[in-house]
Amino acid sequence: MAPSGNGMTWFTWYWLAWLMFFIVPELYWVFTNPANTLSSEVWSFENLNLLQPFDFPVWTATHWAVAVVVWGLFLWLSLHLPFGLLR
């Protein structure tokens, strides 16, 4: 993968675009109206009771799948970003 003139690769531009078009709007909605965040939209399909989100006996397979993926991603990022492990 050859870098462009400024030393940035296409993948660098991908991550920059991801930050700009996902993280920035998501943070905006977290602080202005949390009902418009991605998680609120996803869980609206599952009818999650937001007053008791940790009521594990009523979680569906989707709840568990999302939880495992998010926890796994968090574990991987917590080792990868600060230490460069798990490349």
Q: Half-sphere exposure (CA, 13 Å, Cβ side) for 75? A: 6
Distance CA 19, CA 34 (A): 19
Question: Where residue 3 falls among pLDDT bands split at 50, 70, 90?
Answer: low
pLDDT digits (tens, 9 = 90+) for 28-65: 999 999 888 887 887 777 777 777 878 888 888 888 99
Cα–Cα distance between 47 and 65 in angstroms, integer?
A: 16
Q: If pLDDT is split at 50, 70 and 90, which confidence band does 86 have?
A: low
| Whole-number Å distance between alpha carbons of 38 and 49 | 16
Give residue-wise pLDDT tens across range 71-81: 998 898 888 87
pTM over 0.75: no
Question: How many Å apart are CA 20 and CA 53, to the nearest integer?
Answer: 29
Other C-beta atoms within 10 Å of 17: how many? 10
Place of tokens 């080792």: 79
